[in-house]
């Protein structure tokens, strides 16, 4: 006689198998169509969701869904941090820092005010939408930049910004969610800023310490006895970085991001890893990140409320167009112009204004909101879905063309 636990386990295995199948087929299709894979994943989830075919039915508030979202977003943030090259970023670190912090605030506020005007949303819900879609997507940008030879300084600035603002966007979104859940009467600007600063600081320290220890164990000449197990060490360390930071009521997202930065730049600490082991680690990270994108976006697509999509499609498109054409350029120019050391050209700032696809972390945050049943979360998830689909489809597929027109392809004069 089968128990409820066995039946539930079989159902979960079936769901995992279906998502992996859809993700594999979708990845192949995306390569053939030269389209970002997350677009295919979203549409696959939408078709297979309970509102259409019913093949995938994972409630947003289920343990399985929240586990995938938390770990998936953490691992992708680690991957984003590991992709940053500090040697190159040294030239543009001021811009990256400003646009990843002040820029998130500008985008959140402007998007929030726009959402209040278009949808009549309450102020905190509007700002929650703004912070959710404020961050960009290194998981989409990195594959695009690997195919297009963008000038290195510009490419690293865009990738670094996307990785950094993912962490800051996640922190801002979680903070607003907690504010909504706690009630506006509990809001204190000073207390909120102090709490946020403490969360970020502890997250940075814990991530840096764990990153150094991981690099020591996998790449030190004398103590790197776990070099053969580098993929497992990074996997365990991502979990540890998130859990330790959260245990101190700090930002787990910032912790895993900093952990990734340290591990990705271990040569600056004097650590080296054998080429064969380095390739094995890189392949593992690439494959795991791809799987996390599959699960996050297929599940997000399956949980989208089609009724709300239809209801907000017209005004949602208007919001995204304002977001792409007005809010993003304002953010970039306000944050890049003060950096006189970088000496950004007009063409470089225009490229950075255009290259800002919304992707994995906003999708994961929208899923977390649904699971926590934050007021207005279904509408925010629907608008996030529209934003992801439009920005990745329009901006992600035209990155190379825009770079060529602006003369930013390496080898162009």
DSSP for 128-168, written as a single string: HHHHHTTS--HHHHHHHHHHS-B-HHHHHHHHHHHHHHHHH
Task: Examine residue 12 and state whether it is found in any structural domain, yes or no.
Answer: yes
Q: What is the pTM of this model?
A: 0.76
Question: How far is Cα 67 from Cα 173, in angstroms, rounded to an integer?
Answer: 18
Question: How far is Cα 213 from Cα 216, in angstroms, rounded to an integer?
Answer: 5
Question: How far is Cα 331 from Cα 103, in angstroms, rounded to an integer?
Answer: 6
- Could you read off the pLDDT of 46-94 as tens digits, one per residue? 899 888 888 888 887 788 888 888 888 788 878 878 877 777 777 788 8
User: Which of the listed ranges 60-74, 195-209, 336-350 does the model predict with the highest average pLDDT?
Assistant: 336-350
- Could you read off the pLDDT of 224-248 as tens digits, one per residue? 677 788 888 888 888 888 898 888 8
Instruction: Calculate the alpha carbon distances from 254 to 196, 207, 218, 316, 409 in Å.
Output: 11, 7, 22, 30, 32
- Could you read off the pLDDT of 359-411 as tens digits, one per residue? 777 877 888 888 778 888 888 888 988 888 888 778 877 888 888 888 888 76
Question: How far is Cα 24 from Cα 294, in angstroms, rounded to an integer?
Answer: 8
Question: How far is Cα 123 from Cα 121, in angstroms, rounded to an integer?
Answer: 6
In this structure, the chain runs to a length of 413
Contact by Cβ (8 Å): 109, 130? yes
Question: How far is Cα 241 from Cα 51, in angstroms, rounded to an integer?
Answer: 37
Q: Which residues pair with 150 in a beta bridge?
A: 409
CATH code of 87's domain:
1.20.1530.20
Instruction: Calculate the alpha carbon distances from 226 to 1, 214, 234, 265, 280 in Å.
Output: 45, 9, 11, 18, 13
Predicted local distance difference test score (pLDDT) of residue 413: 46
Average pLDDT of the chain is 83
Task: Examine residue 59 and state whether it is found in any structural domain, yes or no.
Answer: yes
Q: How many structural domains is the chain composed of?
A: 1
DSSP string, 12-28: HHHHHHHHHHHHHHHHH
Cβ neighbors of 32 (< 8 A, separation 6 or more) are none
Task: Examine residue 412 and state whether it is found in any structural domain, yes or no.
Answer: no
Task: Examine residue 90 and state whether it is found in any structural domain, yes or no.
Answer: yes
DSSP string, 249-275: TS-HHHHHHHHHHHHHTGGGGT----H
Cβ neighbors of 60 (< 8 A, separation 6 or more) are 303, 367, 370, 371
Closest CA to 214 of 285, 141, 137: 285
Task: Examine residue 102 and state whether it is found in any structural domain, yes or no.
Answer: yes
Predicted local distance difference test score (pLDDT) of residue 185: 46
- Return the half-sphere exposure (C-beta side, CA atoms, 13 A cut-off) of residue 361: 34
Q: Where are the alpha helices (DSSP H) in 34-92?
A: 37-48, 63-82, 86-89
Confidence band, pLDDT 50/70/90 cuts, at residue 142: low
- In the chain, DSSP finds a helix count (H) and a strand count (E) of 18, 0
Task: Examine residue 410 and state whether it is found in any structural domain, yes or no.
Answer: no
Task: Examine residue 413 and state whether it is found in any structural domain, yes or no.
Answer: no
Task: Compute the average pLDDT of residues 150-165.
Answer: 79
Contact by Cβ (8 Å): 30, 297? no
Contact by Cβ (8 Å): 351, 154? yes
Predicted local distance difference test score (pLDDT) of residue 284: 87
Least confident among 23-27, 32-36, 377-381? 32-36
- Residue 366 is part of which domain span? 4-405
Q: Is 407 in a helix, a strand, or coil?
A: coil
Cβ neighbors of 377 (< 8 A, separation 6 or more) are 366, 369, 370
Does residue 107 have a pLDDT over 90?
Answer: yes
Question: How far is Cα 366 from Cα 65, in angstroms, rounded to an integer?
Answer: 12
Contact by Cβ (8 Å): 22, 294? yes
Question: How far is Cα 402 from Cα 86, in angstroms, rounded to an integer?
Answer: 26
Question: How far is Cα 83 from Cα 142, in angstroms, rounded to an integer?
Answer: 8
Task: Examine residue 411 and state whether it is found in any structural domain, yes or no.
Answer: no
């Amino acid at each position: 006689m089968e128990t409820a636990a066995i039946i539930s386990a079989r159902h979960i295995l079936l769901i995992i198998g279906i998502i992996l199948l859809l993700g594999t087929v979708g990845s192949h299709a995306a390569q053939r169509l030269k389209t970002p894979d997350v677009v295919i994943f979203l549409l696959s989830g939408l078709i297979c969701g309970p509102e259409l075919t019913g093949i995938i039915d994972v409630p947003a508030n289920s343990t399985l869904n929240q586990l995938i979202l938390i770990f998936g977003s953490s691992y992708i943030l680690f991957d984003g941090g590991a992709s940053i090259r500090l040697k190159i970023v040294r030239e543009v670190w001021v811009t990256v820092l400003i646009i990843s912090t002040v820029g998130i605030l500008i985008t959140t506020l402007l998007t929030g005010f726009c959402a209040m005007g278009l949808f009549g949303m309450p102020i905190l819900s509007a700002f929650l939408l703004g912070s959710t879609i404020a961050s960009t997507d290194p998981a989409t940008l990195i594959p695009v930049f690997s195919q297009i030879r963008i000038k290195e300084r510009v490419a690293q600035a865009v990738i670094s910004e996307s990785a950094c603002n993912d962490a800051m966007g996640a922190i801002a979104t979680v903070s607003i969610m907690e504010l909504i859940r706690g009630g506006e009467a509990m809001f204190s600007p000073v207390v909120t800023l102090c709490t946020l600063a403490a969360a970020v600081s502890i997250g940075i320290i814990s991530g840096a310490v764990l990153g150094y220890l991981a690099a020591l164990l996998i790449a030190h000449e004398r103590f790197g006895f776990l070099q053969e197990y580098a993929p497992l060490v990074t996997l365990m360390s991502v979990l540890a970085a998130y859990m330790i930071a959260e245990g101190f009521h700090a930002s787990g997202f910032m912790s895993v991001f900093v952990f990734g930065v340290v591990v990705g730049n271990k040569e600056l600490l004097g650590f080296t890893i054998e080429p064969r082991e380095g390739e094995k680690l890189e392949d593992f990270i690439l494959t795991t990140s791809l799987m996390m994108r599959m699960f996050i976006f297929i599940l997000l697509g399956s949980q989208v409320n089609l009724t709300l999509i239809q209801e907000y499609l017209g005004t949602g498109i208007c919001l995204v167009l304002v977001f792409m054409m007005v809010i993003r350029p304002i953010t970039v120019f306000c944050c890049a112009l003060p950096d006189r050391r970088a000496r950004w050209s007009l063409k470089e700032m225009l490229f950075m204004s255009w290259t800002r696809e919304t992707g994995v972390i906003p999708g994961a945050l929208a899923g977390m909101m649904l699971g926590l049943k934050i007021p207005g979360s279904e509408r925010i998830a629907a608008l996030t879905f529209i934003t992801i689909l439009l920005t990745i489809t329009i901006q992600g597929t035209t990155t190379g063309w825009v770079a060529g027109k602006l003369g930013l392809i390496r080898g162009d004069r």
